[in-house]
Structure 1
């Protein structure tokens, strides 16, 4: 029997302590899944001012501090300890100058100007903390650009350190569009060798790139769906990194994210009005009725309630919805939107809520409980993304018997299969081209089927029967960790 692995997860987010999107969900759930499989897992996270206790989680001061070289200074890292669900140790790397701020990466839609030094500090501190407590990881799993310097440090600074002699790295690309590209002066901030600043190293179009550091220096690479792995090798979706990825494609894998079925379970969800499962769907009707009351909407019984729970950004296809809003509302559906993001989008939807009072409701906020109630109470989820590395919302929707209408890209293509009424197979409705007429066509098809009770129930049950658990994804990651450890 293979021995348990020692795994360190390095990420800028981990639900419930810090989250702006899917990255936080993944980094809060995957370590727990590995713990359940019997592995020794630890996590490190910046100690943001907004980190809050969750449930019975407490935050303890370890009393330990580390001196971390950043440029010409040596700021102190104060280490606190908490746990994911009282099971997985999560170490908080603290420094009030870097992390004692309102936001994670910026405020008011603008990034903090010193994000480079903030995450240089975080990456170096994560490795120094391992040495301080004597935790020698077999694998360091690094997530997105904020953790991209960890593999670079191991290959360029700690390459002769016996402590990390047997440590390997796996870097996960959650969204290639976020790269952490900064001025070349970041090289000196990070105390990385000048000879590493070249086109096969840290240099990216004359700038210093955290993401490229992860892509070049990690032992293995993954992204969060099989389709997205294919897409990012092409210029259309490569964000100018496709050349780097092509050179590493033999070490690039697609692992579809999972769903935390303890948190997202309609049979036991404390946020929703009534429980239900695939064999007992009456509770879903109660959830719909309650949602309409909460959002002050009136929708005919034979018309679907359509929802969007999303970041309001161009990536999520909001332009398509904005430009076709009047035509979408002509379908006589109810529409609920929950999300925050671009101020121009927020202003547009606030204006439409007044225009379509009683048929369209939006809440421009991040509200975890309302997200659960919307997904449970709506009939259709709309996800017209420009690109979607994985997407978690459609997975939550499938679990809750809410039918996705989605653009067939990335993880949406892997999880939403067109429903065929003749065979009874499929989990939703998808469209390929980013054009309003195709979105409307799929929405009309779904809306038309909604009035037909028997095939609609079959479609709902198909979605609720999918195995999108984290155990599936976690097992695949363990296989890749062991592969990295076997290779020289």
Structure 2
């Protein structure tokens, strides 16, 4: 049994803005089920405390440079025995809005201070200086908000092993030198071989430089970030870590209990691989929800996404517009929110084709499940995608994903080439370049295959038997932990 401290800025259902929260719940749960002693540490946001009932004060920490003592509250991951420690500091986390942004969507001005405090509290726990009488052998850090943990632990003579997981290189936690000085961090960290990044302070770089091992959330993304297009200025460091065998990719799993078409509490018509008929009833219910004509023969595309350039939403809008202008018998249903320009473009598309396009802005967990269950195909034309979860949810529901051949999408979807279909390997559709032309050409192939129900059904069945449970991924992480502890 290994003692593992899992540090994350969000954990489902206590706080969620994206896939990081899902991973930060599912991976610790899977490791716990493998008899590992894993504890989660995260900030005590107001929204998190509001949804929790019982919680106990288990420690009070006085951190250097902070006037107020920091409280550690203990609760459990809902529906499990996994211990969650909440870092409570009213000044930093007791506020409306999200974990990173205010109610208007602007970044909190004091994000550096907020997550530096979180990292310092995690270091105190990891060093057994919080009075909890528990010290981990491994500290697993996730994304830039935890990047200072390996950096600060590196200054200690005796410390746990550290793992830093990159969920998205696009967000690095960059702040000015003035902010670095304000945070009263050790001067030794400010160097090119430390957290200094072109005159700025990079939380992310703290994790990349000082962690014993770096993982990314898919093997292909681990290769991509070693190159200019995906490395965001850190590709040289990452390439060096890869050469040192200190960088690897482990594809995320999914919660197969939460995402199961046979037991899904959010859908009206459960189905499974032996009985696919109810899927068409879910499609009908989805058409009713979006006030679209009910037609089993119309190819329905689903999309659940942050409406940002990274996700290729602009490519989707243009390609779907082109298909609809040509009179193709397709529908698009979309759930998401994001850039104002993309939201407006979707409104224009719906206004022009009101009987073909349905949109709901924001996020709705129940509707997300209904889209996965009811759509025929799922659109994920991302310009880059470290791992992605929705394509794996889609496969589980027999909703064939249409993805760009990048990152985790490349690792989890098998393209519907004729050879792959003959060998019963094909599970979705891939395209190479992030262009409207490439996506449009692929959607034509999807449309053509959909007119052959027998071939389409065969692909659905192949997709639904894929295993993306956390078991394999958790075993890979446990093997990594074992190696690091043995080395130390």
Structures share a fold, TM > 0.5?
Answer: yes
Q: TM-score, normalised by structure 2?
A: 0.94
Residue 444 of structure 1: aligned partner: 444
Q: Secondary structure at the match of 2:306?
A: coil
Distance in 2 separating the partners of 1:381 and 1:343: 23
**Residue 311 of structure 1 pairs with residue 306 of structure 2:** yes
List gaps (5 residues or longer) in structure 2: none
Distance in 2 separating the partners of 1:149 and 1:410: 26
Distance in 1 separating the partners of 2:101 and 2:15: 14
Residue 343 of structure 2: aligned partner: 346
Q: Equivalent of 2:42, from 45, 61, 71?
A: 45
Q: Deviation of residue 320 (structure 1)?
A: 1.3
Q: Equivalent of 1:355, from 337, 352, 356?
A: 352
Q: Equivalent of 2:107, from 108, 111, 116?
A: 111
Deviations 1:164-192 (A, max 9, x none): x2510000000000000111134334443
Distance in 1 separating the partners of 2:371 and 2:184: 48
Q: Contact 1:312/1:346 (CA < 8 Å) preserved in 2?
A: yes
Distance in 2 separating the partners of 1:306 and 1:352: 14
Q: Secondary structure at the match of 2:422?
A: coil
- Larger displacement relative to structure 2 (349-358 or 362-371): 349-358
Residue 138 of structure 1: aligned partner: 137
Q: Equivalent of 2:234, from 220, 237, 241?
A: 241
Distance in 1 separating the partners of 2:318 and 2:214: 37
Q: Contact 2:283/2:375 (CA < 8 Å) preserved in 1?
A: yes
Q: Secondary structure at the match of 1:456?
A: helix
Q: Contact 1:299/1:334 (CA < 8 Å) preserved in 2?
A: no
Q: Contact 2:251/2:387 (CA < 8 Å) preserved in 1?
A: yes
Q: Say if 1:431 and 1:52 are closer, same or farther in 2 by CA, change over 3 A.
A: farther
Q: Deviation of residue 357 (structure 1)?
A: 1.2
Distance in 1 separating the partners of 2:146 and 2:71: 19
After superposition, where does 1:468-479 map in structure 2 within 5 Å?
468-479=468-479
**Residue 182 of structure 1 pairs with residue 175 of structure 2:** yes
Equivalences, count: 475
Q: Secondary structure at the match of 1:285?
A: helix
Q: Contact 2:56/2:75 (CA < 8 Å) preserved in 1?
A: no
Q: Contact 1:64/1:79 (CA < 8 Å) preserved in 2?
A: yes
Q: Deviation of residue 227 (structure 1)?
A: 0.5
Distance in 2 separating the partners of 1:473 and 1:20: 22
Q: Equivalent of 1:122, from 118, 128, 133?
A: 118
After superposition, where does 1:241-280 map in structure 2 within 5 Å?
241-249=234-242, 250-280=245-275
Q: Deviation of residue 356 (structure 1)?
A: 1.6
Distance in 2 separating the partners of 1:475 and 1:184: 40
Deviations 1:221-247 (A, max 9, x none): 000000001100011111111011122
After superposition, where does 1:290-305 map in structure 2 within 5 Å?
290-298=285-293, 300-305=295-300
Distance in 1 separating the partners of 2:214 and 2:424: 37
Distance in 2 separating the partners of 1:67 and 1:40: 26
Distance in 1 separating the partners of 2:400 and 2:214: 32
Q: Contact 1:187/1:193 (CA < 8 Å) preserved in 2?
A: no
Q: Equivalent of 2:409, from 408, 412, 420?
A: 412
**Residue 154 of structure 1 pairs with residue 150 of structure 2:** no
Residue 173 of structure 1: aligned partner: 166
Residue 88 of structure 2: aligned partner: 94
Q: Secondary structure at the match of 1:91?
A: strand
Q: Say if 1:384 and 1:299 are closer, same or farther in 2 by CA, change over 3 A.
A: farther
Q: Secondary structure at the match of 2:409?
A: helix
Q: Deviation of residue 155 (structure 1)?
A: 0.6
Q: TM-score, normalised by structure 1?
A: 0.94
Q: Deviation of residue 294 (structure 1)?
A: 1.2
CA RMSD of aligned residues (A): 1.6
**Residue 427 of structure 1 pairs with residue 422 of structure 2:** no
Q: Secondary structure at the match of 1:485?
A: helix
Distance in 2 separating the partners of 1:172 and 1:442: 33
Distance in 2 separating the partners of 1:48 and 1:275: 35
Deviations 1:288-344 (A, max 9, x none): 111111111115422211011011111101121234442042432110000011122
Q: Deviation of residue 53 (structure 1)?
A: 6.5
List gaps (5 residues or longer) in structure 1: none
Residue 378 of structure 1: aligned partner: 375
